[in-house]
Amino acid sequence: MNTKKDYQLNYLSPEFYCEYTSSDYPEIENKENRPYMVVLIKIENNTFAVPFRTNVPHNNCYKFKKSTRPTNTVTGLDYTKAVIVNDSKYIGAAARINDKEYIELNANYPFIVKQFKKFVFDYIKFANGKTNYYSAKKFKYTTLKYFHEQLGISK
């Protein structure tokens, strides 16, 4: 069995939250005294921080099937709340996740990356006006709208 992991689990740094304040960037997950754990995913020239969420009420995510976290909700990686952290000052301390989620993440990481890439490329099409009603609804609350420059979106 291959146990090599090719991703990082971190928190976002205090510098990230100083620059991306909740008043200016309301869709970015930011709760006082509760930092968000993220998995870092590199796509082309961008490093994305995809947050782990305790309650993911939609399907634009990877939902953990084997989590043992004490919650009655669906836990997962929320693609809609991903942010770009190309500057290393935005990447905080290393994080640890639930053991069952860690095993599941290891087993499904290539699938998660593929699924997340599709979400990002679909968003770029949407932002460039090549979309339909369903896509507009799908991206209504995404944080990617704050990173058009990094995504090469001219509008």
CATH code (residue 116)? 3.10.129.130
Share of the chain residues as helix, strand and coil, in percent rounded to the nearest 5: 35, 20, 40
Span 4-61, pLDDT tens digits:
567 899 999 999 999 999 899 999 888 766 678 899 999 999 999 999 888 788 888 8
Note down the domain range covering 56.
8-151
Residue 2, domain member (yes or no): no
Domain count, the chain: 1
User: Between the CA of residue 6 and those of 21, 33, 49, 51, 136, what are the distances in Å?
Assistant: 30, 29, 14, 17, 33
CA torsion angle for 20, 84, 71, 113 (degrees, to 10)? 170
Q: Return all residues near 87 (Cβ < 8 A) that are at least 6 apart.
A: none
- pLDDT the model gives residue 51: 93
The structure's pTM equals 0.88
- pLDDT the model gives residue 93: 92
Q: Return all residues near 115 (Cβ < 8 A) that are at least 6 apart.
A: 62, 79
